[in-house]
Chain A
């Protein structure tokens, strides 16, 4: 079985400071990992993904994430937070050994609040 944990319900950070949103995963094989962002009353927007290759993945809006196999983590980061980054962030995983038809498994989400 595959699962995702986002241990923080809420993350608060001052504008201009670096931000980290945590994600750990559990799969039986190797993972495909994804980050999405959701603004109020909107659908989820894809930010970035790790499939294979470089452990540091760069995505939209200046976000990046680092795949750490030994710690089974895929934390989302940004060097300098903006107020407009305030939103709900979701981590998702699929086990590479599963069919490409297998749905993504999502974490429960982390609400990021960037304070001016």
Chain B
């Protein structure tokens, strides 16, 4: 069966510090991968998605970036965090190029102080 791992679960970082959140998927190959941000426990904002290694689509211009160095690894990064980057970050995957549901990781609560 497929599983998705996202870490860390919680993170407190000072303003101006770098960020690296990691997401990995097991039990499948060539998945579509997604990063979402959820602010104040409400709606989901799609940040990035990837349909293959090295292929990143950005949905919202900001100081975040994403990379996919391996087929089942998706990394969310920032060189310098802003207070407004605080939120709940969710990674998700689904089978590539298929109209199926997406499966979500458990999320990372990021607080920028």
Contact = CB atoms under 8 A, between A and B. Distances in A.
Given A45-B104, A100-B98, A107-B43, 19 more contacts: A34-B101, A41-B109, A42-B107, A43-B107, A44-B44, A44-B90, A44-B104, A46-B101, A46-B102, A49-B101, A88-B42, A90-B44, A94-B99, A96-B99, A100-B96, A103-B49, A108-B43, A109-B43, A109-B44
A104 interface: yes
Q: What is the interface residue range for chain A against chain B?
A: 20 to 34
Interface of A: 32, 34, 36, 40-46, 49, 51, 88, 90, 94, 96, 99-101, 103-104, 106-109
Contacts of B106: 42-43
Interface residues of B, number: 27
B43 A106 contact: yes
Contact of B42 (A32, A99, A109): A109
B38 to A, nearest CB: 8
21 contacts: A32-B99, A36-B104, A40-B41, A41-B107, A41-B109, A42-B106, A43-B105, A43-B107, A44-B92, A44-B104, A46-B101, A46-B103, A88-B42, A94-B99, A99-B97, A101-B51, A101-B96, A103-B49, A103-B59, A104-B102, A108-B43
